Chain A
Amino acid sequence: MAWQGRSDAALLTRPGRRGNLRRHWTLYLMLVCPLAYFLVFKYMPLVNAQIAFKDFSPLDGVWKSPWVGLANLVEFFHSIYFWELLRNTVGYSLAKLAVGLPLAVILALALSETAAKAFKGLVQTATYLPHFLSWVIMYGVLLALFSESEGLVNSIIRATGGTPRSFLGQPSDFPFIVVLSDAWKETGWSAIIYLAALAAIDPALYEAAEVEGATRLQRIRYISLPGIADVIVVVTLLRLGTVLDAGFHQLFMLSSMPVMGVADIIDTWVYRQGVLDFRFSLATAVGLFKGVIGLCMVLVFNRIAKRASGASLY
């Protein structure tokens, strides 16, 4: 970034080694509470996650339950739908990222560029609100629009002499409904983070650009986008780390039998197979599997991001 003129090392060495040491200890002191929290509420559950490789029995508890190795995972791999689940999960996850991210950035840029202040406030609040509509409600809205027997779109199709179509029950249409309805609901919410990032850009940079006669587009290209690039990278990397989370609530709500082949994702499968059936070891095993994939994604893409933009997760 613009202000990183001097090297970090030069900055850090200036107060002298002793000052540095004291400074570092203060910083470590700040970590006491957060790290204690992580130990108890994030790492203890991970220790308990050993039930993924056990036949968990409540009477024996986590430690004394017998080991079963990878049996739980193998059960998941042996599902006849395994490859389909993987395809759907990764597909939706990446498609939502590919569609949702640019839309959120565009919305944030548009909001920060408009000169109509009151209008900006209205749009910003209105676009943020759909995030709060549960998928139950969104399903109702989608049904009102796309249902074959009484949906608005089909009423129009019928009125213009076309053949009504079951958009929600058609395997060829369903994926578009999923990705677009997700963007519909979440774009405004996702834009918040970019708006906050845009707000932090030094206004002097824009003034300087104006003096030098840069066009609007150039200002976006050379100031706004670089200013939020780090945030985009971090958000994208984190999203890739959870690439096997494709939106359980949405697909659980929108899926129906005719579209199962394009609607069933790992989480909905686990829900049917594991949670309802007292199979917690299976759910935990699949959770860890998702983590391994996520870790691989982060390792690969963090390296790429570091090389390309300098930003990274760790």
Chain B
Amino acid sequence: MLRKMSLEERAWQALVNGILLFTLLAVAIPLVRVITMSMTPIKAGREILGGLLIPVSELSLAAYRQLLSHPAFLRSLANSAIITLGGTAMSLFLTVPLAYVLSVKGLPGRKFLNTLILIPFLFNPGLIPGYLVVTGLGLTDSYWAVMLPGAVSVYNTFVMRGFFEGIPEDFKEAARMDGAGEFYILRRIILPLSKPILLTVGLFYAVSLWNEFFGPLLYLNNAKLQPLPVLLRNILLASNVNEYVDFDAMSAAPVQALKAASVVLTTLPMAIIYPWIQKHFTKGTLVGGIKG
């Protein structure tokens, strides 16, 4: 990098960074807005730029205080963590072998298998058919009811399959010549080379489990099992459904601030893990790749 950049390189960097700067500014609007909203008491005429900014003296952490001090907050957080970590592990456990097998060229029945997993992706039978299966298995009031129905995403499987297909055959071939079995090849050769896609698909699973609200709503009757999104939704909507509220529905912060604060709180863990995942997205992860 210390080398002097060529003119072309400098122009290129200007273009690329210009695109990035524009994108950054564009996404900054909703992000800043949601943060200010989470700290804004309802006050008249003191917003700047249509509420994008507010004077520092006006900022209030009441919404965060209200959410974090909820007696069930920590328990819900723990439930969410269990569902997210356990669910992601299980999803990868099911998705990786599936994607790998589908990526093996020349495997008899491959086309049939591909079709078999594509069909449920296209045809969504809606709420009740799935609900009947989950309750029929007696999974009500267990985390399985939340983790299992979406455990394998066909989308993620196809994306992962595409990556596995891109790994040079020679790698596998060399191992096979040495008498390595398929489990060994998957574990020792394919997986180490597939870090970016494993992290990506893992992230996709984790995010959808972390935000999962509908499954818990339907399947978890026991309040002690409920994850964070359900708790936050209850807090938010309770302060919203205030037609008949009386003394005990006092909310310290405005509904908008609570809404925004809950979004900030749930996004925070995802914002923290992403830079760590990013690190593995740098060019040339396929270390020692060989040319064709």
Contact = CB atoms under 8 A, between A and B. Distances in A.
B152 A196 contact: no
Interface string B72-115: 00000000000000000000011101101100111110010111
B55 interface: no
B49 interface: yes
A37 B28 CA distance: 41
A116 interface: yes
A313 interface: yes
Nearest to A23: B182
A241 B113 CA distance: 17
A26 B182 contact: yes
Interface stretch (A45-53, A74-82, A86-94, A165-173): A45-53
B290 A313 contact: no
B8 interface: yes
Contacts of B124: 287, 290-291
A101 interface: no
B169 A313 contact: no
Interface in A106-146: 106-107, 110-116, 119-134, 136-138, 140-141, 144-145
Interface string A1-33: 111111011011011000100011011101101
A266 B266 CA distance: 30
Interface stretch (B63-71, B217-225, B242-250, B275-283): B275-283
A97 interface: no
A14 B174 CA distance: 11
A37 B151 contact: yes
B151 A235 contact: no
A195 B281 CA distance: 6
Contacts of B163: 196-197, 200, 231
Contacts of A24: 107-108
Contact of A192 (B17, B28, B203): B203
Give the secondary structure class of B's interface. Answer: helix
Interface residues of A, number: 118
Given A126-B27, A200-B285, A30 B101 contact: yes
A215 B15 CA distance: 14
Contacts of B133: 40-41, 44-45, 48
A188 B27 contact: yes
Contact of B23 (A123, A145, A199, A235): A123
A209 interface: no
A241 B183 CA distance: 32
Contact of B152 (A38, A136, A141): A38
B122 A201 contact: no
A255 interface: no
Interface in B254-280: 256, 259-260, 263, 266-267, 270-271, 274-275, 278, 280
A275 interface: yes
B169 A26 contact: no
B159 A231 contact: yes
B94 A110 contact: no
A212 B60 CA distance: 59
Contacts of A41: 130, 133, 148-149, 151-152
Given A114-B20, A137-B34, A27 B169 contact: no
Interface in A201-236: 201-206, 208, 215-216, 230-231, 234-235
Contacts of A238: 121, 154-155, 158
A174 interface: no
A114 to B, nearest CB: 5
A202 B289 contact: yes
Contacts of B30: 130, 133, 137-138, 141, 184-185
Nearest to A106: B19
A142 to B, nearest CB: 9
A122 B31 CA distance: 13
A129 B32 CA distance: 11
Contact of A155 (B50, B123, B282): B50
Nearest to B152: A37
B226 to A, nearest CB: 18
Contact of B115 (A48, A120, A234, A314): A314
B219 to A, nearest CB: 13
Given A34-B94, A128-B274, A202-B289, A287 B267 contact: no
18 contacts: A2-B292, A6-B169, A24-B107, A33-B94, A40-B137, A45-B129, A48-B125, A48-B129, A49-B125, A107-B23, A114-B17, A125-B274, A131-B207, A141-B29, A184-B30, A196-B200, A204-B290, A280-B127
Interface of B: 1, 8-9, 12-13, 16-17, 19-21, 23-24, 26-31, 33-34, 37, 49-52, 93-95, 97-98, 100-101, 104-108, 111, 113-130, 132-133, 137, 148-149, 151-152, 154-155, 158-159, 162-163, 165-166, 168-170, 173, 176-177, 181-183, 186, 194, 196-197, 199-200, 203, 207, 211, 256, 259-260, 263, 266-267, 270-271, 274-275, 278, 280-286, 289-292
